Amino acid sequence: MKEDLSNFRKVYKKSQINFNGLKDPFVLFEQWFKIAKNDKLIEEVNAMVLSTIGNDEFPKGRVVLLKKIYLNGFVFFSNYNSEKGISINKNNKVSLLFFWPSQERQIIIKGIVSKTSSSFSDEYFSKRPFKSQVSAFLSNQSEIIDSYSKLKKDMDIFLKENKNKKIKRPKNWGGYIVKPFEFEFWQGRPDRLHQRVLFSLLKSKKWKINILSP
C-alpha cells in the first residue's frame, strides 16, 4: 500500500481561545462541549478515545462513549474483564481525547480512573435497551470467539428464551469514572500558530494554567 498525503493541508481559522479569564477547565470544557453538541457536522460528540497502558506496556487507544459528567469526573461504561479493564486494574492512569474536526478543536485529559459504584452502574444498565443489556450479558468483550455467526445465534436463542425477562447487570460490566488532573485544549489557528492551553491540578486543588507552544 502506498499513499502520499503531503498535499493534504487545511487552514484552521474557525475560532480562537481568549486566554484572559481562564480559570476552571471544566468551565471551558462545558463551553466547548455545548458548541460541539449543537454542531450538526459532529455525529457523536460524546465519542472519546480512551488510552490505557496495557500489561504489555504498550499504550492502546480506543473509542468509548462519554455518558455522564458528574463529581468532576467523566463516566463511560464497559466490560471490566476486557483488555482495557485488565489494563486499568494494573494501571489506573489513563487519558481521554476528544477531537472535533469541524470545530478544529482537540481536548486531551489525563486522569485517574476507578469503577463507579455498583448502584450507579445498576441504574444506568437498567435504562439500556433490552438488546444492549443482552449483548453486554453475552459478550466476553475482547476475548477470541469461534465465529460471529455463533455469537449471533447465541443472541437469537437467548432472546427467544428470555422474552420480557428482566436482565440483571452482569458483575463484569459497569461504569468507570475518570477524575482529571490535567486538561489540554487545542484550537487550530492559521499558519500553524495553533493555540494550546494546559490546566494542571495543584495539591491546593487549584488549577495552574500554562500556554503551550504549538
Ligand X SMILES: Cc1cc2nc3c(=O)[nH]c(=O)nc-3n(C[C@H](O)[C@H](O)[C@H](O)COP(=O)(O)O)c2cc1C
Sketch the per residue contact string, 151 through 190, with ligand X: x for CB under 6 A, - otherwise. ----------------------------------------
Q: Output the smallest distance, CB 166 to ligand X, in A.
A: 22
Quote the cell numbers at residue 48: 472519546
Sequence letter at residue 103: Q
Nearer to ligand X, 78 or 195 (CB): 78
Q: Output the smallest distance, CB 83 to ligand X, in A.
A: 3
The whole-angstrom separation of Cα 199 and Cα 17 is: 14
Exposed / middle / buried, residue 5 (Cβ in 10 Å: 0-12, 13-18, 19+): exposed
Is residue 112 involved in binding ligand X (CB under 6 A)? no
Q: Output the smallest distance, CB 113 to ligand X, in A.
A: 13
Quote the cell numbers at residue 157: 436463542
Q: With CA atoms as reference, report the closest residue to 12 among 187, 200, 202, 138.
A: 187
Nearer to ligand X, 31 or 39 (CB): 39
Is residue 142 involved in binding ligand X (CB under 6 A)? yes
Nearer to ligand X, 44 or 146 (CB): 44
- The angle at the Cα of 23, spanning 13 to 32, to the nearest 5 degrees, equals 40
Contacting range for ligand X; rule: CB under 6 A; set: 63-71, 103-111, 189-197, 200-208: 63-71
Is residue 145 involved in binding ligand X (CB under 6 A)? no
**Phi, psi (degrees; rounded to nearest 5) at 2:** -135, 140
Is residue 65 involved in binding ligand X (CB under 6 A)? yes
Q: Output the smallest distance, CB 170 to ligand X, in A.
A: 13
Q: Output the smallest distance, CB 73 to ligand X, in A.
A: 15
Sketch the per residue contact string, 79 through 98, with ligand X: x for CB under 6 A, - otherwise. ---xxx--------------
DSSP string, 20-83: TT---HHHHHHHHHHHHHT-TT-S-TTEEEEEEE-TTS-EEEEEEE--EEETTEEEEEEETTSH
**Phi, psi (degrees; rounded to nearest 5) at 111:** -165, 180
Contacting range for ligand X; rule: CB under 6 A; set: 15-23, 62-70, 93-101, 198-206: 62-70
Contacting range for ligand X; rule: CB under 6 A; set: 4-12, 56-64, 154-162, 189-197: 56-64
Which stretches does DSSP call E strand in the chain?
47-53, 59-65, 68-70, 73-79, 93-100, 105-115, 173-187, 195-201, 207-212
Q: Which residues bind ligand X (CB under 6 A)?
A: 44, 47, 60, 62-65, 76-78, 82-84, 141-142
